[in-house]
Amino acid sequence: MKKIDDEFKAVINKCLRISISVFFCVYILKVKFDVNPFYASIAAVSCLQGDLSNSLKAGLQRCAGTMVGGSIGLLSIYLIGYDPESIHQVLGISLFLVIIIFCSTYLIKMHTSNTIACIVFLGIATNMDGRNPYEWAFKRILTTILGVVICLTINWILNGEYKHIKHTERAKKIIKKIARKK
């Protein structure tokens, strides 16, 4: 029975952390700045883990993937355009995916950022529909980072991790721990 109670508490805790994180993403971006909160909200949900250390790791992966995919997406627009109408453009998009996976895996050594990097790239390379791709990529990177920061802050507060240790020392340990795992 205790195991069920502990599991229930963990689920309730996660529900609260996710819903509060998304609340702040939507409120800050949409209500205060009239910016689409979709990507910040996704980042907050996908980065929320059981503790701050794992959430920070997931957030860094998410931000790195977004920056790699966004940067290479902008490069692809410059080189091949963003409305694939020929076999050469489609082939170029496919080859850029290979470059993204190699960059994520070997250049920045964050292989788990491959998926989001490819998704961001494809959003730029195939889904602009008249939007300014440079503005879209910039907003996407910024809103993703904001979603990660909101998620980490909410996770840090609601998990009570701020109570147990000195803030700066804990942050240094978390960053060192993540750097060693690369």
* pLDDT score for 25: 97
pTM exceeds cut of 0.85: no
Residue 144 pLDDT class (50, 70, 90 cuts): very high
pLDDT digits over 29-58, tens only?
Answer: 999 999 999 999 999 999 998 888 899 999
Quote the domain boundaries for residue 25: 2-46+64-181
Task: Look at residue 51 and tell me if it is in a domain.
Answer: no
Q: Is 53 inside any structural domain? A: no
User: Would 36 be classed as within a structural domain?
Assistant: yes
Is the predicted pLDDT of residue 61 greater than 60, yes or no?
Answer: yes
**How far from chain centre, in Å, is Cα 16?**
20
In a domain, 58, yes or no: no
**In this predicted structure, what is the pLDDT of residue 182?**
56
Q: pLDDT-based confidence at 168, cuts 50/70/90?
A: low
Predicted confidence (pLDDT) per residue in 66-110, tens digit: 999 999 999 998 898 877 788 989 999 999 999 999 999 999 999
In a domain? residue 72: yes
Cα distance between residue 103 and residue 20, in whole Å: 34
pLDDT at site 131: 84
pLDDT tens digits, one per residue of 107-124: 999 999 999 999 999 988
- What integer best gives the mean pLDDT of the chain? 88
Task: Please indicate, yes or no, if residue 57 is contained in any of the structural domains.
Answer: no
Comparing C-alpha atoms, which of 90, 142, 100 is closest to residue 121?
100
- Residue 7 falls within a domain, yes or no? yes
Q: How many domains does the chain have?
A: 1
Query: 12 lies in a domain?
Result: yes
